[in-house]
Structure 1
Amino acid sequence: MTKTSAASRLENLWDDSRAASMSEPEKLLYRSNLLGSDKRITNYGGGNTSAKVMEKDPLTGETVEVLWVKGSGGDVGSIKVDGFATLYMDKLNALKGVYRGVEFEDEMVGYLPHCTFNLNPRAASIDTPLHAYVPKKHVDHMHPDAVIAIAAAKNSRALTAEIYGDEIGWLPWKRPGYELGLWLEKFCLENPEAKGVVLESHGLFTWADDAKDCYELTLEIIQKATDWFAAKTEGKPAFGGAQHESLSAEDRRAVAAKLMPAARGMVSGIQHMVGHFDDQDAVLDFVNSQDFVALAALGTSCPDHFLRTKIRPLVVAFDPAKGNIDEVLAHLPEQVAAYRADYTAYYDRCKHDNSPALRDPNAVVWLVPGVGMITFAKDKATARISGEFYVNAINVMRGASGVSEYVGLPEQEAFDIEYWLLEEAKLQRMPKPKPLAGRVALVTGGAGGIGSATAEKYLAEGACVMLADINADSLAATAENLSGRYGKDVVRTVQMNVTDDAAVAAAYAEIAVEFGGVDILVSNAGIASSARVEETTLDLWQKNMDILSTGYFLVSREAFKVLRAQGIGGAVVFVASKNGLAASPNASAYCTAKASEIHLARCLALEGAEAGIRVNVVNPDAVLRGSKIWEGEWLEQRASTYGTDKEGLEEMYRNRSMLKRSVFPEDIAEAAYFLASDLSAKSTGNIINVDAGNKEAFTR
């Protein structure tokens, strides 16, 4: 916001050749997507756009004026045509006749469905009156950091006049709603030459009678504020200057890796939370500064920022010069308890007789000097977006405090938005979380058939997954496939050799930084070998033991460390084999190592029970499809052992089973899901055979 380089300038992306054949609603969509593509213009889910369009009434056949406006909960950057609400303008104007005054403005939301055009099911947002009553065809409402910095300054009105003159007006703080729509209409009628308005502590409205003109005006107004701040703050230290120095990038992640699991455990009392770490320059400038503690205590200003970041962040008592992370962890429960008590006191001070009940009192945003920012939320996308909003707030504080005095949203106003009955109703309409929502899983052998199928099952049930595998190419391909269908937020990868102690520890540090910790370990990495005992070399024996026994020990040991640091339980699932229970010819090394896995799981179930850590085993048999261990020599050797060829081996295994059915990776994934989910919350030390029936492998 304060730089003047060419890269900081907003780019006009409007393409006349593309827009020439568009209808007015299509131009609205085009404009919205262009504006939302640049987070300097508006944050994710923030702001809205509208157009007043002449349409044919489907009932009367007459031409009527219709307001197209971004629907409730949409994002202008990704919105589609069906994301807009459509309402009759004459009916919106008729609402003025039923308005009973500011004390009753919330009831006006209930009238908006009566204004719906063409039975559009998209719900209209609370900002609909602000767009409807501006007497221009096209309206943009954006939340650019540069303009909110003006809106959040102590002398906001004077700064607006200094920057824009009469071109852009100013309105004092008012919670979004019907009354603010009437205020905006009154301003427009009294100032017909104005091109927009700054809403105190909120954002920017601009308008025009042409879609392209409106888009270009919005860019121009934002750029003017950006350039003004750059000139005013050039050479001035931000936030009162530096107090701390940043740790190196590697050390920052190391501190985050130690801090995040402990913090995650403390904020996951009501539901499992997912973490996000951000150490970009804007964050580090803030958390290292002289004034950041005082500024952070003021809270955010823009309602969109506040709703996603709570009244204020938690400032972690870390000193980067001392590196006192152990001391911080020792006293973290006290800090968290103090934050909860402060938040509860805020609720008690501000609540009304009809306020919703106290929500989760834990911090969303955690600020760590010298390290960065951590955010926690019910899923990874929300945690990331909450962090993005706080970066917006940092930029606002940088600008406002650089030219004036930053002013946060007054406490009562903040509460009235956070616990707004209309917001509560929106929360109550949200879909029920999926069974593994907020859970984090590490799947070793994640690029193989069973590993990738298990990861996909977990993703489908709402979990975040880190895929670990030794094969970098297969790992990348699997991750691309899964992230393409479930989103990049929820899939991470780490190349890992399960026999390498340091690599395993590094993988858990990575999952801690990326997601906040771990809840589920699926230990699945494996090999298979086949040889007569007299032909089994010591190297072959040791390789089986290293990967299938020692490897399972190493990944489980590190999992236990993180799970105990979190203190919220967890699940470990070993993918072993029927051969761990039933001996098989020409596979002594493999069978023995698999038996070792199963007994290790029993031992870990005993150790983990008191901490709520469940350890169970899935025993597959003959999972040929997609399995890496059934490639190359193992397949040839097993076919030779049973006197068949490659093509006949699967049929032989199927006919050998009691149920005469083939076993697929998806079948193992279902068992691994059951053992990781709350469906098996009272099961530990158990074995589920998924082998289509083999009496030699019966556990009792």
Structure 2
Amino acid sequence: MTRHEETEARDAAGTRGAGETSGTVEASGTVEASGAAGVPDAVRALLGRSHRLGADPRNTNYAGGNTSAKGTATDPVTGDGIDLMWVKGSGGDLGTLKADGLAALRLDRLRALTGVYPGVEREDEMVAAFDHCLYGKGGAAPSIDTAMHALVDAAHVDHLHPDSGIALACAADGEKLTAECFGDQVVWVPWRRPGFQLGLDIAAIKEANPQAIGCVLGGHGITAWGATSEECEANSLHIIRTAEAFLAERGRPEPFGPVRQGYAPLAEAERRERAAALAPHIRALASTDRPQVGHFNDCDAVLDFISRADHPRLAALGTSCPDHFLRTKVRPLVLDLPPSAPLDEAVTRLRELHAAYREEYRAYYQRHADAGSPAMRGADPAIVLVPGVGMFSYGKDKQTARVAGEFYVNAINVMRGAEAVSSYAPIEEREKFRIEYWELEEAKLRRMPGPKPLATRVALVTGAGSGIGKAIAHRLAAEGACVVVADLNARAAAAVAEELGGSDKAVAVTVDVTSEEQIAAAFREALLAFGGVDLVVNNAGISVSKPLLETTAKDWDLQHDIMARGSFLVSREAARVMIAQGLGGDIVYIASKNAVFAGPNNIAYSATKADQAHQVRLLAAELGEHGIRVNGVNPDGVVRGSGIFAAGWGAQRAAVYGVEEDELGEFYAQRTLLKREVLPEHVANAVFALTGGDLTHTTGLHVPVDAGVAAAFLR
């Protein structure tokens, strides 16, 4: 679900504007229910304003900017009125902000901090001081921008990162352009790193310019204020839309220069084919220091930028707004070949450019790091631009990768605006380093929860629309994997992908595993969605339960086409991707107890399972040199939730054993040593055990999940 969809869903669910009901604040600083919405007027107005501003990407980027409101509450200890400020906390997103994402602070104590401020060289110490200003439990952690909101003498303050505002902020003559655009209504503030001193600067400028409704922060963004929430929002939008109109009216038509010969975008089908072919190779480079999930973006803004003559110069200048390069790194890696270059030539050149990028990044770090700087976090690019094809972005999970790409689109828009009316002049490199390796940012990273066992891994599960495959998809996603839900039933696959959390967690692909073309297409979708594939589960199957003399050649061929041939085709495509990535990988076959000890009257099914079991042994031996582990799981009698059993196999097997179909699961359980029924989640547990990181030196293994069928014991 996109941020806009989340906002629409929230609005449909009953989010209301300001002023409909009142509320009080508990001593803890959390919101106490009072009236239909259960929040104070000031907070309700603040949330509504934040949602509206945050829902439009023209106003600010994801998780960028912050809003605040000042108001009075009754102190439950003294019964007196107390002045408070609510401000978006660290790391939150305006478009999806909730009351618990606000920091609640005492305004008198915040403003008293000016008396103990030790100066700009020690301003980072003030962040810890904010904790002493919290009201009760205080809500979310206060952000670095808290001082800006507290010290500015206005009841409502917005700090935003609109592309139009940053374009003026990053233009070489931004101060002059700001005056031309707004007159004295909006004031220029020279670049200063976010912090307490910037709050003091803006407060002083507002006091000196009582006619002003806001300011443009050099190299950064905008800040607006108002006496009411409505006025503040209107002032923010006025600054943003006025800047947009100014850039459109004053700007030259081709700010990035003419289209470079041979660099025009490929047609969509050819473009996506090329992107999928490049994806595993680029992901390998981006994952040199640590594994990454990828995202592909070929929107018009990206394709136009990388087709233009000036894109190499502008990309090399890097991004400017602190929110941008914290996500995108100081600059992207740009392939300097046209889209007509042969694939192997492009891959070779990307490797050369990547080696140079890493050396340049290390030099950048060494130029600016001092004894107190955090250790270098990694020298791989977060953004890779491929002319004619699009942009690949990377992060610790899909959302991080996608948002990094969105931020670079913001950066492209900023460069376009600045170049249209002036020239793009981002903040200097040392200032970028000071923010990228800011100890406060490092502390934020340390506070984040540790990764789940399958974080950064991309799994493709066949037959994942129901039964065992669905259970496997759920378990892998719960353990941090991105999941490609592959199934012949498109509706079932889509439903499972939605259950897993939508496109940042899972995508659905429709695939007949007997078709080489459909399998290749499914892997292409996986590559475009997540950048690669690390874990494949061969689960798709059917079952024909007949004695030998009733088994037709058609039965035999169908059974083998889907499970033996299908598993081979899927594993072959998986191996191609995994070898290109160079990150190792896992292939897991959901075989069967019948591969070792077959029940009666199912020769086609059991022979196919034996084929799959032997594929495990053969592929484990062949792919080991690439770090690819191949293992199998041998379940028995998974009745409940099974698509195969529900499709007639259950009735057939019940007839063979002379029991009622609804008693088949218990029948299977009673013939085991443990007397337990095997469920889909038990098979999923085995898949996770094989792939979750503890069995790193295990390959060629078959794990029984049959509650103990002695005749099926392996060696």
Q: Same fold (TM over 0.5)?
A: yes
Whether 1:219 aligns to 2:218 is no
- In the TM superposition, what are the counterparts of 1:49-198 in structure 2 within 5 Å? 49-198=67-216
Whether 1:242 aligns to 2:259 is yes
Moved more, 254-263 or 159-168: 254-263
For residues 17 and 421 of structure 1, do their structure 2 counterparts lie closer, same or farther at Cα, with a shift above 3 Å needed? closer
Deviation at 1:610, TM superposition (A): 1.0
Deviation at 1:24, TM superposition (A): 1.0
Partner of 1:39: 57
Partner of 1:345: 363
Question: Of 625, 631, 634, which residue of structure 1 is paired with 2:649?
Answer: 634
Tell me how far apart the structure 1 counterparts of residues 540 and 379 of structure 2 sit (CA, whole Å).
Answer: 40
Question: Of 580, 584, 608, which residue of structure 2 is paired with 1:565?
Answer: 580
Deviation at 1:59, TM superposition (A): 2.7
* Partners of 2:513 and 2:566 within 8 A in 1: yes
Provide TM-score, normalisation by structure 2: 0.94
Tell me how far apart the structure 1 counterparts of residues 603 and 318 of structure 2 sit (CA, whole Å).
Answer: 64
* Partners of 1:144 and 1:222 within 8 A in 2: yes
Tell me how far apart the structure 2 counterparts of residues 213 and 446 of structure 1 sit (CA, whole Å).
Answer: 52
Tell me how far apart the structure 2 counterparts of residues 639 and 413 of structure 1 sit (CA, whole Å).
Answer: 72
Moved more, 632-641 or 360-369: 632-641
SS at 1:38 equivalent:
coil
Deviation at 1:683, TM superposition (A): 0.5
Question: Of 256, 260, 278, which residue of structure 1 is paired with 2:275?
Answer: 256
* Partners of 1:545 and 1:589 within 8 A in 2: yes
Deviation at 1:431, TM superposition (A): 0.8
Partner of 2:414: 396
Percent of paired sites with the same residue = 50
Whether 1:595 aligns to 2:614 is no
Partner of 1:431: 449
* Partners of 1:145 and 1:396 within 8 A in 2: yes
* Partners of 1:277 and 1:374 within 8 A in 2: yes
Partner of 1:515: 530
Tell me how far apart the structure 2 counterparts of residues 446 and 274 of structure 1 sit (CA, whole Å).
Answer: 21
- In the TM superposition, what are the counterparts of 1:303-318 in structure 2 within 5 Å? 303-318=322-337
Q: Which has the higher contact order (CA 8 A, sep 6+)?
A: 1
Tell me how far apart the structure 2 counterparts of residues 662 and 270 of structure 1 sit (CA, whole Å).
Answer: 44
Whether 1:202 aligns to 2:220 is yes
Partner of 2:28: none
* Partners of 1:238 and 1:285 within 8 A in 2: no
Partner of 1:463: 481
Whether 1:410 aligns to 2:425 is no
Letter in 2 for 1:242: V
Partner of 2:495: 477
Whether 1:617 aligns to 2:632 is yes
Tell me how far apart the structure 2 counterparts of residues 110 and 651 of structure 1 sit (CA, whole Å).
Answer: 61
* Partners of 1:318 and 1:324 within 8 A in 2: no
Whether 1:385 aligns to 2:403 is yes
Letter in 2 for 1:175: R
- In the TM superposition, what are the counterparts of 1:13-32 in structure 2 within 5 Å? 18-22=17-21, 23-32=41-50
Moved more, 662-671 or 627-636: 627-636
* Partners of 1:261 and 1:566 within 8 A in 2: yes
Unaligned runs of 5+ in 1: 1-12
Letter in 1 for 2:20: S
Moved more, 384-393 or 269-278: 269-278
Deviation at 1:25, TM superposition (A): 1.2
Deviation at 1:317, TM superposition (A): 2.9
Tell me how far apart the structure 2 counterparts of residues 488 and 276 of structure 1 sit (CA, whole Å).
Answer: 11
Deviations along 1:390-438, one digit per CA (max 9) or x if unpaired, are 0000000000001100012200000000001111111111111100000
Partner of 1:326: 344
Whether 1:361 aligns to 2:361 is no
Provide TM-score, normalisation by structure 1: 0.96
Moved more, 490-499 or 323-332: 323-332
For residues 633 and 94 of structure 1, do their structure 2 counterparts lie closer, same or farther at Cα, with a shift above 3 Å needed? closer
Tell me how far apart the structure 2 counterparts of residues 557 and 505 of structure 1 sit (CA, whole Å).
Answer: 10
Tell me how far apart the structure 2 counterparts of residues 617 and 470 of structure 1 sit (CA, whole Å).
Answer: 22
* Partners of 1:271 and 1:438 within 8 A in 2: no
Deviations along 1:9-37, one digit per CA (max 9) or x if unpaired, are xxxx9x99843314111111111111111
Partner of 1:5: none
The count of aligned residue pairs is 682
Deviation at 1:330, TM superposition (A): 2.3
Partner of 1:536: 551
Deviations along 1:565-621, one digit per CA (max 9) or x if unpaired, are 011110111001111110221101110010000001100000111111000000011
Deviations along 1:372-401, one digit per CA (max 9) or x if unpaired, are 110011100000000000000000000000
SS at 1:271 equivalent:
coil
SS at 1:19 equivalent:
coil
Partner of 1:675: 690
* Partners of 1:58 and 1:118 within 8 A in 2: no
Partner of 2:700: 685
Tell me how far apart the structure 2 counterparts of residues 655 and 240 of structure 1 sit (CA, whole Å).
Answer: 76
Letter in 2 for 1:528: S
Unaligned runs of 5+ in 2: 1-10, 22-40
Letter in 2 for 1:292: H
Tell me how far apart the structure 2 counterparts of residues 593 and 122 of structure 1 sit (CA, whole Å).
Answer: 56
Give the root-mean-square deviation of aligned CA atoms: 1.4
Whether 1:452 aligns to 2:451 is no
Question: Of 258, 273, 276, which residue of structure 1 is paired with 2:295?
Answer: 276
Partner of 1:4: none
Letter in 2 for 1:325: L
Question: Of 247, 251, 275, which residue of structure 2 is paired with 1:229?
Answer: 247
Tell me how far apart the structure 2 counterparts of residues 238 and 601 of structure 1 sit (CA, whole Å).
Answer: 57
* Partners of 1:299 and 1:409 within 8 A in 2: no
Letter in 1 for 2:644: I
Deviation at 1:182, TM superposition (A): 0.8
Letter in 2 for 1:139: V
SS at 2:678 equivalent:
coil
* Partners of 1:448 and 1:626 within 8 A in 2: yes
Letter in 2 for 1:422: L
Question: Of 643, 650, 664, which residue of structure 1 is paired with 2:665?
Answer: 650
Deviations along 1:104-140, one digit per CA (max 9) or x if unpaired, are 1111111111111123142111101111111110001
For residues 686 and 74 of structure 1, do their structure 2 counterparts lie closer, same or farther at Cα, with a shift above 3 Å needed? same
Tell me how far apart the structure 1 counterparts of residues 197 and 494 of structure 2 sit (CA, whole Å).
Answer: 53
Deviation at 1:645, TM superposition (A): 1.8
SS at 1:77 equivalent:
helix
Tell me how far apart the structure 2 counterparts of residues 185 and 332 of structure 1 sit (CA, whole Å).
Answer: 48
Moved more, 459-468 or 323-332: 323-332
* Partners of 1:274 and 1:515 within 8 A in 2: yes
Moved more, 323-332 or 300-309: 323-332
Deviation at 1:479, TM superposition (A): 2.0
Partner of 2:34: none
* Partners of 2:454 and 2:692 within 8 A in 1: yes
Deviation at 1:88, TM superposition (A): 1.2
Tell me how far apart the structure 1 counterparts of residues 647 and 96 of structure 2 sit (CA, whole Å).
Answer: 46
* Partners of 1:526 and 1:547 within 8 A in 2: yes
Deviation at 1:480, TM superposition (A): 2.3
Tell me how far apart the structure 1 counterparts of residues 221 and 650 of structure 2 sit (CA, whole Å).
Answer: 65
For residues 569 and 669 of structure 1, do their structure 2 counterparts lie closer, same or farther at Cα, with a shift above 3 Å needed? same
Deviation at 1:639, TM superposition (A): 1.1
